[in-house]
Amino acid sequence: MVESIQAPIGYLVDTGELPVFYQSNVAGERTNFEGEREFRPVTMRNARLLPNTFELDREGFAFVAHKTAVSDFYDDAELKSVYDAEAEALVRKHTGASRALVFDHTRRSSSQNVREAHNARDPANAAHTDYTDWSARNRVTAVMGDEAEALLEKRFAIVNVWRSTAGTIAEWPLGLCTWDSVDDAHLHTVERRAYNRVGQTRHASFDPNNAWYYFPQMTPDEAILIKNYDTSTDGRARYALHTSFDDPTAASDAPPRESLETRVLAFFDESPSKIL
């Protein structure tokens, strides 16, 4: 394995206008983006050749061995009956949360045929994190209903569980940027429009200080945990920028990437004095 590669990462160009991301609503439809984006070559370090000491509260992401009992990731009923509990237990274990709840699954593939057959989305190829303070709190309110007010008084986080769903990832892997290499001045609010709701994400403009890593050749028995949001402001990582990228070392006949990202709310019993 190579120690690092040079790969193009999609960065937002800050024009002063509010960018808008449109979620695809039709099976196989590609996502649309209103705004200016540039692709910059960055050094992507091979994290498999490093000690696996990455932590959610320090770098903002973690790489874990994780076998699943799911046999068909395209079966919604099986995700609900089997995988939700697996993902919630995994997040509790690696965050120390007293409670975790899956609230969303997103399937992705680099194959148009797979996207059309399974209503999957294309790989996201922009450096981003999924939530702003506003949209994260709104998500808790929408998901938790009457419980939301009390839960929002304490610390909460949103963690993604990302994994391969069909063999080894041979193209379009996931890139991850360490929390301590990101300057919030380079993060910009992007409006996210879906057919049933309007939210917000944050996309990054180019910063040469960003430190990027990837885990090549991921198998279905491995997972990446990505912290997308954390109310804590005590110095721990609050998010990790992430993106898929076009791997220049991938074989021309590599099988298409098929993956699942599962979003999980993590609730804690910490004092409100440690949160926003």
How many structural domains compose the chain? 1
Q: What pLDDT sits at residue 17? A: 87
Q: What pLDDT sits at residue 27? A: 60
CA 169 from centroid of its chain's CA atoms = 16
From CA 145, how far away is CA 101, in angstroms rounded?
13
Q: What pLDDT sits at residue 248? A: 96
Q: What pLDDT sits at residue 220? A: 96
Which of 217, 250, 203 lies closest to 7 in space, CA to CA? 250
Q: What pLDDT sits at residue 250? A: 97
Please report how many Cα atoms fall inside a 13 Å half-sphere around the Cα of residue 163, on the Cβ side.
22
Q: What pLDDT sits at residue 199? A: 84
Write the DSSP string, 167-222. S---SS-EEEE-GGG--GGGEEEEEEE-SS-EEEEEEEPP-TT--EEE--S--TTE
Q: What pLDDT sits at residue 99? A: 98
Q: What pLDDT sits at residue 274? A: 58
Residues of the chain whose pLDDT is less than 70? Answer: 24-31, 195, 271-276
6-60 per-position pLDDT tens digit: 999 999 999 988 888 777 666 666 667 778 899 999 999 999 999 999 999 999 9
Neighbouring CB atoms inside 10 A of 252's CB total 5
Domain that includes residue 19, residue range? 4-274
pTM, to two decimals: 0.94
What Å distances lie between residue 31 and 58, 109, 184, 245, CA to CA? 31, 13, 25, 16
Tell me, what DSSP letter sits at residue 58?
T
